[in-house]
């Protein structure tokens, strides 16, 4: 279904399923970002301490895991964004 705007151009009205489908696609990049934030929150919540022998006790492994998920989420978001732009341009060429 199309609708005429004040500029005289036709705009497509998105169907309900299309909007939900687009949101599901971006979950791929959102989930790693949430996991990354969770790792940093757990790192801060667990905290650091000094053992009796003078060694530092901390959950250091959470920092590189958080960065790994953060970078994966950003890269996935960029790739999905580029794919969306390419698909939109291909659809314009067909029409």
Q: Residue 15 is inside which H or E element, if any?
A: none
Instruction: Please report how the helices 62-94 and 16-46 are oriented relative to each other, as an axis angle in degrees rounded to 10.
Output: 170
Predicted local confidence at residue 26, as pLDDT: 81
Give the pTM. Answer: 0.70
83: Cβ contacts below 8 Å, ≥ 6 apart: none
The pLDDT tens digits for 51-76 are: 999 999 999 999 999 999 999 999 99
Torsion of CA 20, 9, 89, 87, to 10 degrees: 20
The pLDDT tens digits for 13-46 are: 666 655 556 567 788 899 999 999 999 999 999 9
* Residue linked to tokens 């949430």: 34
Taking Cα atoms as reference points, which of 86, 68, 58, 69 lies closest to residue 28?
A: 69
């Amino acid at each position: 279904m199309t609708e005429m705007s004040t500029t005289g151009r036709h705009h497509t009205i998105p169907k309900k399923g299309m909007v939900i489908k687009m949101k599901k696609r971006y979950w791929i990049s959102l989930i790693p970002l949430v996991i990354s934030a969770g790792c940093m929150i757990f790192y801060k919540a667990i905290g650091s301490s000094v053992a009796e022998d003078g060694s530092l006790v901390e959950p250091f492994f959470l920092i590189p895991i958080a960065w790994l998920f953060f970078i994966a989420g950003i890269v996935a978001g960029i790739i999905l964004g580029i794919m969306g732009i390419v698909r939109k341009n291909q659809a314009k060429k067909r029409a």
